[in-house]
Structure 1
Amino acid sequence: MNWISNVVRPKINSFLNRREVPENLWVKCPETGQMVFHKDLEANLHVIPGSGYHMRMEPMARLRSVFDGGKWYDVALPSVAADPLKFRDEKRYVDRLKDARAKTGAQDAVKVGYGKLDGLAVTVAVQDFGFMGGSLGMAAGEAVVTGLETAASRGTPFIIFACGGGMRMQEGILSLMQMPRTTCAVQELREAKLPYIVVLTNPTTGGITASYAMLGDIQIAEPGALIGFAGPRVIEQTIREKLPEGFQRAEYLRDHGMVDMVVHRHDMRATLARLCRLLMRVPQPAVVTTETPHTEPVVPETAALPAPAAVAAQ
């Protein structure tokens, strides 16, 4: 009886009361293999502390890092046909959309917000690589166009964090038509003389690079981001040559004139605020000093000097 009560019963209770431990508590750095606790990674804007590797950032976290106080207004996006071509490969396209929406909690790959950045009104769009690789379909194209039109109508700069693997093959020609549509919307913003700033994140490839992602007034890239049209492996197989070290990475593109600057994520908000104020010709806010006034009278330095000797009259 003692064996049953002292050994068997506690083991049964521990088995029944076992708690499931989430699998994503620790994140591994793709470059160094360093393990980082997920809370520490979130607090560091999803940058690995040791190596500085920039992990992907979901749209909500990205918007919180940009807007003042982490607060903004969601821009309503138009609805589109869910499966215009009735596409099916190994799975139906509508089922893939359901899985992506359940995984990310978003309707599609682009989210648009309106708010204040350092006191200046801005419109910001973010692409989510977690939603079918950030691919550009009808819904994502409509979101980018709506964001550009919102910026034009409200007279604000438009900032987009581009990310994705290109066009969405399940929508065929309807997906490809988002390239000229977004390009025309960029031109409308340019005619309104409003800034268009593009932040290229990892990865930005395919038709996204071939359209709105390379049309910014200012082209910014995050460190180490893969930016190009075709992938490096495809290029090597096509030309049958070894590509240069760091080819298609943000630093390589900056050195060869395709990107204006490479900005660390910790400095991104301050850089965007400074660029928006510069392009909008809005002066920087006055710096308010917080120094406490002296409570005791300050004696001028000259009071400590000896009085000048009298000059005898000639």
Structure 2
Amino acid sequence: MTTRIDTRFAALKREGRAGLVTFVTAGDPDPATSLAILKALPAAGADVIELGMPFSDPMSDGPTIQASSQRALANGQTLAKTLDLVRAFREHDDTTPIVLMGYFNPIYVHGVERFLTEAKAAGVDGLIVVDLPPEEDDELCVPAVKAGINFVRLLTPTTDAARMPAVLANTSGFLYYVSITGVTGTAKPDFAAVGRAVAAVKAKTPLPVAVGFGVRTADDAAAIAASADAVVVGSALVAAIKSALDSNDAATEATVAAAAALVRELAGGVRGARRSAAE
């Protein structure tokens, strides 16, 4: 079954460039503004959208994304409302892939079968669930793939050759290579090391490889795009949203524009890098 993710990465390959994957937290800072930001991302240059499912204990996220989850939860965001957000986005955009990213607990509480049925109907294309290792694939990964939803796995600098086959076994859509050790938004990647790691991963799988964690600027994005199939930007974008909130963390007239402006800048870096490489 071909998903929007498969279609988008095939198109990027034909264009000879890397893609830009943008992460925002569902419901941050409020549901209406969150939807407006989602709608603005593709026009600004996002090729794939990762939509964070707010959770009270986001152990893999740095303080910037943790704070965005808290803002969303404080404004009543739930998993059901996150699916409503996807559904509303799909009324205007039926081509941009959406990957829900988060933790298993909210899905488990919602009910796995119910969640997958509702997610597929809403227009979700993929899942990244950071606290489910390959040993737990029967919990969610295998049912998701059967439902026609890609299950995207994280690879890290500490994933060794012995572990790689298990990580790759049921992964689909793309692989997400974490460019640093630690939580999101806390360090700058070693771009040369990332290039070597991406090459090593590509020797093991035909799946596209997206690289994230620590990408903040157009130059960062361009450096990653030289070797990866996509560049993932999360904390920097969430920080841009936060910077355009008022003192009470409420949206202002500048909030959506701030998000779109950063995405345009990053998209320019990604697209320029791949065009230069092709010349």
TM-score bucket of the superposed structures, by smaller chain: 0.3 to 0.5
**Relative contact order: is structure 1 or structure 2 higher (C-alpha 8 Å, sep ≥ 6)?**
2
Higher helix share: 2
TM normalised by structure 2 equals: 0.36
TM normalised by structure 1 equals: 0.32
Give 1 or 2 for the bigger CA radius of gyration: 1
